[in-house]
Structures are given as C-alpha cells and as structure tokens.
Structure 1
Amino acid sequence: MKLKKRLALAALALAISAPIAQAHEAWLLPSSTVLSSPGYVTMDAAVSNDIFYFNYRPMAIRDNLSITAPDGTAVQAENLLQGQLRTVFDVKLDAPGTYRVALTNASLMASWKENGETKRWRGSHEEMSSKVPPNAQELVVREGVSRMETFVTVGRPSEAKPSGKGLELLPVTHPNDLYVGDPATFVFVVDGKPTAGIEVVMIHAGTRYRDQLEKLTLVTDAEGRITHTWQAPGMYYLKTMVEGKSDTLQNVERRLSYVATLEVLAQ
C-alpha cells in the first residue's frame, strides 16, 4: 500500500509540474553588460524551462545574429559553439560606447486558392510580388518578426538606435544605466512608431529557486511608454508581443515579438 501511495503521489506531482515544464523561454545572457575598458564578453544563448538556466536545448544561431558597434558597423562573433544545452560565443568590444547584440527572425507566409487547390508560399517581401498571384483567391498573408537582444557598454553609454523594423525597445533610460531605486523609462515602437496598449512582462532572474515567477506586467501609455522603479539588482528578462492587422500592408496579419535581457545594478 505504501508503494502504491508513493507512486500515486509521484504521478500527481508529475501531472502538476508538466504544464510548467512546457513553458520554454528563449534568451541571451551576457557575461557582463558594462566594461570599464575595451575587452571581451561571452554570450550564452539557450531555450529553457527556467530563465537563464540551461536545462532544455541550445539556441540555433545561423544567419540571424547581428552585433552592432557604437558607430553602427557590424561586429563578427568569435568562438561560436553550439553544445547540447546552450550556444556560446564571444564578442570583442574594441571601442567605447554601447553595443547591441541581437537575434532576429522575419518570415512571410501566404496561402490562397487556385483552381480549387490550396497553394502555399514562404519568403521575403521582395519575392512576394513574383511568387503570389496579384488577384489570388482567398489570399491570407501572415508576417512574423521577432527580435531578441541585449546591450553591452564600454565606458560611457552611447545611443542604442532601433532598426525601425518590427517591435523594438527605444530607450529613454539607457539599458546599461539601470539602478535599484531609480525609475527607468522605455518606449516600445512598431516599425519605429510609439505604440500604446502593449503589455510588457518583466521577470527577475532566479525563477528556478522560487515557487512563483513573480512577473510584472506593465502596459504602454499613449506615447508607447512604460516606467518602472527597480526593487532588486540582478538580471531581468523582458518580453512583449503584438498581434493584429498590419498598418502598412493590406490584408496582412502580423505577429511581432520582442525579448531583451537587462541588468539592474545596486546603488
């Protein structure tokens, strides 16, 4: 009877924990976010059950990694290695200012009817006009744009300019100038335009070691802004998403997502 009871309790515990185990998050984690002089930082990239803890699979990095120097030039990753649980690479920071390290993905998918048969296509905006008939019947177009990034500063912070594509964070408070007890303000933009009503979720690191995520959800105001006063130092995971009709492309459904890793320092 005792064995049966133990097995039943184990099965119940597994059933309760199963939904949590399926909630995978993808993230970038820098070894440092602020350097006093030029040098290297190491980046971890992974998909996991617990934020900033390696326990599921590595991040696939192909042609979607971009590292932008303070002067806008591209920096190449060094020592890129994909392991069983994480992907690791180094970034050499040669100049003072803020570097933007990002993983971006964009896709465009279309489906339509042709002579009673469903046709499907996937590609870029530039290819669409030649691949999809202009008068396609029952045409449905879906666009997905995702951006995951973090910021690293050498010496004095410099402006971190957005790309103007998809959903992005436009810093009012610099992302490498975050301190406990100080309010920070960020603007969220869609294709470069501040957007109201976006839900932004922030989660403090260490979720593996507490019972609750303790996530904070803020909503952008009419100017696309959120303001938050940090209560504890450490790494933070920030994510948000926008879904709906495109403002610039006719009959296009969009799904835009944004994720950032930020570090808050003690005073």
Structure 2
Amino acid sequence: MKKTITLLAFAAALAAPMAAQAHRAWMAPTSTSLSGNDAWVGFDAGMSNGVFIPDHAAMRMNGLVVTAPDGSAVQPEHLMQGQYRTTFDVHLTQNGTYKVANVMNGIMASYTLNGEQKRWRGSAAEFPSALPQGATNVQATRTSSRIETFVTLNNPTDTVFTNARDGLEMIPVTHPNDLVAGEPATFKLSKDGLPAAGLEVTVARGGLRYRDNPEESTVTTGVDGAFTVTWPEAGLYWLNASVRTAAEGDTIASNASYVAVVEVLP
C-alpha cells in the first residue's frame, strides 16, 4: 500500500490555538502566587475571540496534567465543563511551583477507500496500522498542542520546568511567577527538544473587554529559542507560538502550538 505523507489542511483545527485563528485557547488561574501551608487555586479554561473572555466554547480537558513541585501528579478537583468555559480547582499542599497543563497530541489522517474519502484520528502509536486494508492516498499530520500555566505556594521552585521533547515547550529563564510590570522577562521555546529559532510569539494582555487598545505585541525567538518580554502593565498575559513543518520524503508533517498564561504584578 503506497502512502504519500503530506500536510493536511484540516489538521490546523486540532492544533489550535494558533495566533492566526479567530478563537484563542486559554487556561487562567484565579491566583499564581500564594502563601501558607494549604491553599486552593481555581481555573477557567475556554476558547474565545478575546483572551480570558468566555464567549465561544469551553475547553475539553482530556489532557489535563497537574505536576507538583516534587514531580508527582496532582488530581484536579471539581472539574466541570459548561457551555462557554471549563472550571476546576487544584489543592496546593507542597511548597514550590506547580505546572498545570492541558496537553493534546496525535495523528490526523485522510485516505481513500473504495473510492470514498475517509478520515482517521488517533495516537501516533496506532498509526498507520489502524488504517483499513486497501487504504490509498494517505495524508497525515502529527499534531501537538500544549496550554499551560504555573502557580506557586510560598517560594518559587524550578523542578517542574522539564523538557518532554514533544512538540513546542517553554523553559523559563525568568521564573513565570516572578514577573513585574516594567521589567524584562526571558523564556526559551523548544521544538521536539531542540531550540525553536525564528518563531513569532504573540503576547496579549487580558481585560480587552474594558478598553479599546488590544495591547498585543509580537516578539521573535533567537537562535537559542529565547525571547524577552518587557511587561507594560500588570495583569494576566497570554503567550502563543505555533510552527508547521511540511513532510519530506517519508517524514510525517507536524503541526505544533503552545500557549502559556502568566500573571504580571505591579
């Protein structure tokens, strides 16, 4: 069976959020820095035109993973999906920084069978053996989407900033829970474990509903994947980057996106 691997136009939908798409995905915490021995943080997640404004669709949390400062997994509580937003809580009991991420990846493919166009979606481990016998004109794209934020109980730590080497990821140079208005912060993006050079990163501040200026800017990563942002105002910020790689020979195409939500203090 001959399989020609090419980039699928419809794969862009799974790889949302992309900066160029109308609806942006976000996951916003009620607080990012807390103190004490025991604390709770609530989260809203959704897809919308303006970031942090739940006006389009709730986010599915099939890939939700909460990582504690010691590397253990924390079970989110009170998870509920509504019409426009998904909500859940995380109980913080360890000192340090937690990573809250919704990670989605897999393969999207189209093929022809008995003269009809078909589509398939599944994990990378299943492809291509899960396709039916006799499938031809196979077109496939590996997709990866990561949406994350960070919260700290007492003192910030960096143990959760590991590189899974899968899709687009961010490794902070400046701690994401130590951001102050008017001060620069530096982060690094990687693609499958390697520096993601030359990527445009969109930076947008929340609160658009209450102002006319969108306060959105773009920065570009350097050869080492690093980019620097100087925050103009305090508030919640949405950072987004995406990259598409076309197929070459038998190498499958890829479509990856990354979103981080960070809080900047006055």
Q: TM-score, normalised by structure 2?
A: 0.83
Partner of 2:6: none
Tell me the C-alpha RMSD between the 2 structures. Answer: 2.3
SS of the aligned residue for 1:23 comes to: coil
Q: For residues 1-267 of structure 1, what are the structure 2 equivalents within 5 Å?
A: 23-37=22-36, 38-61=38-61, 63-113=62-112, 118=117, 120-132=119-131, 138-159=137-158, 160-245=161-246, 250-266=250-266
Counterpart amino acid of residue 161 in structure 1: T
Q: Distance in 2 between matches of 1:141 and 1:59?
A: 25
Greater RCO, 1 or 2 (C-alpha within 8 Å, sep 6+): 2
The 1:123/1:83 distance shift into structure 2, 3 A limit, reads closer
What's the CA shift for 1:245?
Answer: 3.0
Query: Whose radius of gyration is greater, 1 or 2?
Result: 1
SS of the aligned residue for 1:52 comes to: coil
What's the CA shift for 1:246?
Answer: 6.3
What's the CA shift for 1:192?
Answer: 1.6
What's the CA shift for 1:136?
Answer: 7.1
What's the CA shift for 1:72?
Answer: 1.2
What's the CA shift for 1:114?
Answer: 5.9
Identity of aligned residues (%): 46
The number of equivalent residue pairs is 243
Deviates more, 1:123-132 or 1:71-80: 123-132
Counterpart amino acid of residue 174 in structure 1: H
Deviations 1:116-169 (A, max 9, x none): 665543221211142348997543221111011110011111112232211011
Q: Distance in 2 between matches of 1:120 and 1:53?
A: 33
Deviates more, 1:112-121 or 1:213-222: 112-121
Runs of 5+ unmatched residues, structure 2: 1-20
Deviates more, 1:65-74 or 1:108-117: 108-117
SS of the aligned residue for 1:208 comes to: helix
Q: Say if 1:140 and 1:251, in contact at 8 Å, map to a contact too.
A: no
Q: Distance in 1 between matches of 2:123 and 2:183?
A: 42
Deviations 1:81-111 (A, max 9, x none): 2223322111001101111111111120233
Runs of 5+ unmatched residues, structure 1: 1-21
